[in-house]
Amino acid sequence: MLIIFLGVLSQWVAWRLQLPAIVLMSIAGLLVGPILGVIHPAESFGDLFNPFISLAVAIILFEGSLNLNFKEIRTFGKPILRIVTLGAFIAWIVGSLAAHYVAGLSWAVAFVIGGLFIVTGPTVILPLLRQAKLKTRPAAILKWEGIIVDPFGALLALFAFQFVLFAIGDETAAAFGLFFLASLFAVALGAGAGGLMGYMLEKGQVPEFLKAPMVFGVVLLIFVVSDLVMHETGLLAVTAMGMIMANMKIASINDMRHFKENISVLLISSIFVMLTASLNLEVLIGIFNWRIISFVLATLFIVRPLSIWLSTIGTDLTIQEKTLVGWIAPRGIVALTVSGYFAGVLLDAGFADAELLTALTFALVFSTVVVHGFTIGWLGRKLGLATADDPGIIIVGASRFATKLGEVLADLNKNVMIVDPSWGSLQGARQVGLTTYAGEILSEHTDYEVEMTPYETMIVATETDSYNALVVSNFVPELGRSNLYQTAIHQGDPADFHSSLSGRTLFGEKWNIHELEMKAEEGYTMRKTQLTEHFSYENFKEKWTGDTIPLFVQRAQGKIEFFAESNKLEPKPGDIIVSFTSPARQSDRNQERLENNRVKNAAQTKE
């Protein structure tokens, strides 16, 4: 109970304070584990401790690989291929040299641990990407590298261990053949299972209520079967399975993603608390060995940057992208769990220095998680590789009012896109220079064509209330209900639309899309009113008549807040109120401006 509660609480506190969640989870585990001694997960779970973590890692890795759509890297596949092959090899060699010469490990142990430390993994990189809000290209590179290299790091360490046993005469050459055959078997098993599951889901062979649970069960089965053939190949199998399913364009893939994502967040939260709480004080004290500290610094400032810069020579990556990717490489759960396994087998093989691996691994994991967690957002913004702090807005429905609303938001330097199934309906939006997409927002095809990352707010303003509610309910898992707005209900009783089926009502119950369209046809225009110390919100409301519709407020810091039924705004001096105003009101406003200019000019002439 305490593990799950602390994990989820850490995630929530991190969200509230805009801090790296992994750092807080690690600190929470250290506090209740080795520091205060409240819990000892390794002792409490006993023989189930390692299997539970292994199965959890399999689920997390599969969930991450479900996001590996090849369409995403169509234009920059070359740098990713270089990074996960040549870059990984360089990181292995240079990391092994650092482990030997800096950390003082024997060659055998150094090459095993050097192979393992090439991993980053979805358990650490995906939460950091959610926090940092990087642009699509650098985020995709880090995500793909983390998920693909994760199983290969474990396999590389296993390969190095097999080579060590062969070198000391404890293994035959046939073991290498078995290693490669087991790896091929894992890929074939995972790909075959992914293809079969995808076919069954698309052909309706699995009912809706069983889709996610069945995939969940098959993932665990494939992982265990592959791992029984050869240790650490299960990660390769589930990655292959996820990648195959991600590229089959399965209609229900989003439902599975949401289910797996929720499970993954819970598992990541729990596992980090479990692993850090299971450490002992001897390991923590051992971290402050000067050799370990020097190795961590060498990994951060030499091994990682060198592997990225060398492997991406001749690619189209910019200097800024190389700098960011060459810095960000947090190690996570796979490094912690697999290093424990290799520490045991290396000690059994007679390598006494392998006892340092636990302290060395935790030092690297905790250091990279903290350093990269706190710097990824800052560095991304400094290098111009982060999306705007103020996320974009999608407007569904290309009515005249929606176009006017999109235009005024764009004038305020907001990223706006209007979506409508009709190309002709979008003509007005295209004419004023707005980003548009002609397609069905609920279509699976749209999911592949539209990059949703830059957009955090959605306004649904079509003429059909039930369709608006359907769009809102579909995007609640991605955007959250607080970021979903829809125009007022105009058919039937609004009470028929339960709050769970609708977004926040824009501009009040009176102003449905038909009323707003009528005003647009009457010539209503968008008006910006700057609040000052002399003209406050109270003054604005005094002039606010029935022919003025307040739409939203742009805060002095640039944030947009919409007037909505459940959103009681209190604009302050420095804010801008944007309203939908009748031609008469706009004429009055123009007359006031002309009169003010005439008085000002007269005063200047008199002087």
User: Residue 152 is part of a domain; what is its CATH number?
Assistant: 1.20.1530.20
Residue 579 to residue 546: CA distance in whole angstroms? 12
The winner for highest mean pLDDT among 27-36, 276-285, 585-594 is 27-36
What pLDDT does 323 receive?
A: 93
**Cβ–Cβ contacts within 10 Å for residue 22, how many?**
30
Q: What is the DSSP letter of 489?
A: P
Mean pLDDT check: name the lowest of 160-164, 207-211, 355-359, 491-495: 491-495
Same domain, 508 and 459: yes
What pLDDT does 599 receive?
A: 47
What pLDDT does 86 receive?
A: 92
Q: Is 560 helix (H, G, I), strand (E, B) or coil?
A: strand
Mean pLDDT of 91-110: 91
Residue 49 to residue 448: CA distance in whole angstroms? 39
CATH number at residue 396: 3.40.50.720
Domain count, the chain: 2
Say which residue, 169 or 448, is predicted with more confidence: 169
Nearest to 405 by CA among 567, 529, 559, 520: 520
Mean pLDDT of 146-158: 79
Is the alpha carbon torsion for 268, 270, 272, 274 positive or negative? negative
Mean pLDDT check: name the lowest of 95-109, 410-424, 437-451: 437-451
- Domain limits at 453? 392-606
Residue 160 pLDDT class (50, 70, 90 cuts): confident
Structural domain contains residue 365: yes
Residue 389 to residue 39: CA distance in whole angstroms? 40
Structural domain contains residue 9: no
Same domain, 339 and 488: no
Domain final residue, candidates 382, 408, 435 = 382
Residue 343 to residue 350: CA distance in whole angstroms? 11
Domain final residue, candidates 382, 412, 442 = 382
Structural domain contains residue 38: no
Same domain, 435 and 371: no
Domain final residue, candidates 382, 405, 436 = 382
Structural domain contains residue 103: yes
What pLDDT does 580 receive?
A: 86
Same domain, 405 and 375: no
Structural domain contains residue 26: no
Nearest to 18 by CA among 377, 366, 265, 452: 377
Nearest to 524 by CA among 545, 541, 503: 545
Residue with tokens 């409490």: 44
Nearest to 398 by CA among 528, 513, 529: 513
- Statement: the pTM of the whole predicted model exceeds 0.95: no
Please check the confidence at residue 592 and state whether its pLDDT lies above 60: no
Is the alpha carbon torsion for 382, 386, 388, 389 positive or negative? negative
Nearest to 175 by CA among 185, 160, 153, 190: 160
Same domain, 422 and 326: no
Spell out the SS3 assignment of 27-65: HHHHHHHHHCCCCCHHHHHHHHHHHHHHHHHHHHHHHHH
Residue 39 to residue 29: CA distance in whole angstroms? 9
Please check the confidence at residue 403 and state whether its pLDDT lies above 80: yes
Residue 254 to residue 477: CA distance in whole angstroms? 10
The winner for highest mean pLDDT among 125-134, 158-167, 294-303, 488-497 is 294-303
Nearest to 215 by CA among 236, 193, 244: 193
Mean pLDDT of 81-109: 91
Residue 253 pLDDT class (50, 70, 90 cuts): low
Structural domain contains residue 34: no
Same domain, 93 and 216: yes
Mean pLDDT of 515-544: 83
Same domain, 284 and 371: yes
Same domain, 248 and 273: yes
Mean pLDDT of 344-348: 80
What pLDDT does 584 receive?
A: 64
Residue 356 to residue 185: CA distance in whole angstroms? 33
Structural domain contains residue 61: yes
Same domain, 428 and 535: yes
Structural domain contains residue 301: yes
The winner for highest mean pLDDT among 39-43, 480-484, 584-588 is 39-43
Mean pLDDT of 263-270: 80
Length of the chain, please? 607
Percent of the chain with pLDDT over 70: 87
Residue 101 pLDDT class (50, 70, 90 cuts): very high
Mean pLDDT of 495-508: 64
Same domain, 375 and 408: no
67 burial class (0-12, 13-18, 19+ CB within 10 angstroms)? buried
Same domain, 128 and 199: yes
Mean pLDDT of 526-552: 80
200 burial class (0-12, 13-18, 19+ CB within 10 angstroms)? middle
What pLDDT does 607 receive?
A: 55
Mean pLDDT of 143-152: 81
Residue 367 to residue 298: CA distance in whole angstroms? 12
Please check the confidence at residue 575 and state whether its pLDDT lies above 90: no
Same domain, 129 and 250: yes
Mean pLDDT check: name the lowest of 477-481, 506-510, 551-555: 477-481
Q: What's the whole-number average pLDDT of the chain?
A: 82
What pLDDT does 305 receive?
A: 94
Mean pLDDT of 448-466: 79
Nearest to 127 by CA among 223, 227, 269, 9: 269
Encoded tokens for 81: 């291929």
Q: Is 66 helix (H, G, I), strand (E, B) or coil?
A: coil
What pLDDT does 173 receive?
A: 65
Residue 37 to residue 283: CA distance in whole angstroms? 14
What pLDDT does 586 receive?
A: 53
